[in-house]
Structure 1
Amino acid sequence: MSWMILFLAGILEIGWAVGLKYTDGFRLPVPTALTVGAMAASLFLLGLALRTLPLGTAYAIWTGIGTMGTVLVGIFLFSEPATAVRLACIGLIMMGIVGLKFST
């Protein structure tokens, strides 16, 4: 169950990172509220996952999911470049996440 909670925390991290783009520097109240809510929920779920998962593993996976997802959302939503190097780096992050999961 902790792994599912951690995965959801990572998805929410993607949500708040993307939400920052829509807050216009925290000037727009609705996107700001949603972004702050996603931040709080993500941290709360990370804290729950840390009850049973090792800190280093959980934190690395949480940030890895957030990083990888945010880059992919940027490519699809904001037309950011999808160069071979960027995609290869995302692949390396994914390999690290999988490796940490199976080594714990």
Structure 2
Amino acid sequence: MKKLMILLCLSIILFAGCDILTPPQVEYEISGTATSVNITYSNASEGTSQVSDVSVPWTYSFESTTGNFLYVSAQNQNDSGSLTATIYVDGDVYKTSTSSGAYVIATASGSAP
């Protein structure tokens, strides 16, 4: 009976830790009323990418590694409008930032949990 309890406890610990082995799913989103934005973001290969004159909403998804730097920043290219930069990790909002006005920048960043 004692061996069965030990086996049961080890099984629970093993299965409870499965989320630790699953890489975080990251999605960057730029939304708002701005009609044209320039975006800089950290990508899946841990480098930096840029896209110009993009319409919103804009998204980019990838599988990350715990501890990796996450970064998305957008600049409004017009004299009015709002921008929201959001980082989702496993479907939940991780970081978000909103800016409104001419040529404003919204930036969200952090380390992948």
> Shorter chain as normaliser: what TM range?
under 0.3
Which structure has greater strand proportion? 2
Which structure has greater helix proportion? 1
Which of 1 and 2 has higher RCO (CA within 8 Å, sep 6+)? 1
The normalised TM-score by structure 2 is 0.24
